[in-house]
Amino acid sequence: MLTVLRTTWPLLLGILLLMVGNGMQGTLLGIRGAIEGISTTQMSVVMAAYFCGFLLGSRIVPGMIQKVGHVRVFAALGTTISSLLILYAVAPHWIAWSFMRLLIGFCFSGVYITSESWLNASASNETRGQALSAYMIVQMLGIITAQLLMNTADPAGILLFVIPSVLVSVAFLPILLSTQPAPSFSTIKPMSFARLFRVSPLGCVGIFMMGGVFSALFGMASVWGAIRGMSVTEISAFVAAIYFGGLVIQYPIGWLSDHSDRRLIVLGLAAFGAVVSALAIALQPNIWGLLLTAALVGGVANPVYSLLLAYTNDFLDTSDMAAASAGLLFINGVGAMAGPLITGWLMSLIGPDGFWLYIGSLLLLLALYAAWRRTRRPTPSVDQSFAVISPTASPLAVEVALVNAGNDDPPADAAKG
């Protein structure tokens, strides 16, 4: 790991600062929206715009990189993000915010694609798995750190918009000044959705549902907290707990998934998350209960996403992984766009409980579908070991993670039933 940090620290430091900036703007907008009197429905459009932009970026940015190169795309996207973060405070209107969130989502998608391909090129075959693990940990730590910084100033002022803007600007310095050469880049053609569904119906349906869960958790959590009347400290702690749960629970679930039926674990985790969401509605817990709830639901959502990717790849050859990953990430993005809109609509109808109702309903449906799929196809032998993967990862990063995980054990032929 020390070797990995020595060779990739400029990129990892840059990603850490970028994630701090991204984490701050997501939480801050939910809080500032309530201060500005923006309605829940309008804020749901604002939050959904990010995921729409992210999806567009995943389709367009690879072509941009091929035409002008990593460095120019990286610098252009970073400058745009930094400028938009300041403009939030200048134009506090939901339509303006929606447009800016669309652009920021586009830019962050490009940043992830660029940085992940750069990281992949800078690591050797022996260290690539460790590098990607460090990258995922840094992403989580950046979001958690962002929540701590939310308590440094008044959200009604401009300083909390200035801090992420400065951090994003600084984030590109260690990356662009690094002596590591920019890698070559090739676009990945997605597998057809019909073929992808034939390979793994559970993977496709589950990834779509988890897109909705993720976007609700990470896009609407601060909006939910503001509606519930929580303080800035409480909201930031709640969001941090979601990511902390995901960081801690991923690894034990990963070990378990490599020794048992992944579908059974998906079923159990989704059912558990649905029960926790229902208890949040029934018990109306205090702040400590809410932090525990956030950690548990966040801890469920992160490994379920990775489990579904690993399960789908149990039915694929290594050569098909990148194409399948590109298709699954697109499906995840479509689900993510709908998440904030449906959550905002439910909260406008029944209040803050709509947040948990939406998340719990999706997890319950996923559990029921996983249970039904277990009756339709025999359990495959585990061909790919579990890999910690972010839902914002590019197809390249997903492929690298799964290939490196699969190399931990001798490959076995997957059942094709």
Tell me the pLDDT tens digit for each residue of 235-246. Answer: 999 999 998 888
User: Residue 181's pLDDT band (boundaries 50, 70, 90)?
Assistant: low
Percentage with pLDDT > 90 across the chain: 26
Identify which of 297, 294, 210, 299 has the alpha carbon closest to the alpha carbon of residue 248.
299
Proportion of the chain above pLDDT 70, given as a percent: 78
* Rounded Cα distance, 73 and 353, in Å: 42
- Annotate 155-207 with DSSP letters as a single string: TTSSHHHHHHHHHHHHHHHHHHT-SSPPPP----PPPPHHHHHHH-HHHHHHH
Q: Which of 8-12, 114-118, 148-152, 400-404 has the lowest mean pLDDT?
A: 400-404
Which 8-state DSSP code applies to residue 314?
Answer: T
Architecture of domain 1-180: Up-down Bundle (1.20)
Residue 153 CB burial class (10 angstroms; 0-12, 13-18, ≥19): middle
Residue 22 pLDDT level (bands cut at 50, 70, 90):
confident
Residue 169 has pLDDT above 50, yes or no: yes
Sorting pLDDT into bands at 50, 70 and 90, what band is 412?
very low
Average pLDDT over residues 59-83: 81
What pLDDT does 194 receive?
Answer: 84
Q: How many CB atoms lie under 10 A from the CB of residue 189?
A: 10
Using 50, 70 and 90 to split pLDDT, how confident is the model at 311?
Answer: confident
Q: Is the pLDDT of residue 160 over 80?
A: yes
The reported pLDDT for the residue numbered 9 is 73
Mean pLDDT of 89-97: 90
Residue 402: what pLDDT?
Answer: 57
Cα gap 130→125, rounded to integer Å: 10
- Of the listed ranges 237-241, 332-336, 410-414, the least confidently predicted one is 410-414
Categorize the per-residue pLDDT at 275 as very low, low, confident or very high, splitting at 50, 70 and 90: very high
Domain 191-417, what architecture?
A: Up-down Bundle (1.20)
Query: What per-residue confidence (pLDDT) applies to 329?
Result: 78
**pLDDT for 409:** 46
The pair phi, psi for residue 295, each rounded to 5°, is -65, -40
- Rounded Cα–Cα distance for residues 305 and 391 (Å): 7
What pTM did the predictor assign?
Answer: 0.82
Residue 385 clears pLDDT 60, i.e. is over it = no
Q: Would you place residue 64 in the very low, low, confident or very high pLDDT band (cuts 50, 70, 90)?
A: confident
Q: Is the pLDDT of residue 96 over 90?
A: yes
Domain map (residue ranges) of the chain:
1-180, 191-417
The values of phi and psi at residue 89, to 5°, are: -75, -25
What integer pLDDT is reported at residue 114 of this predicted model?
A: 75
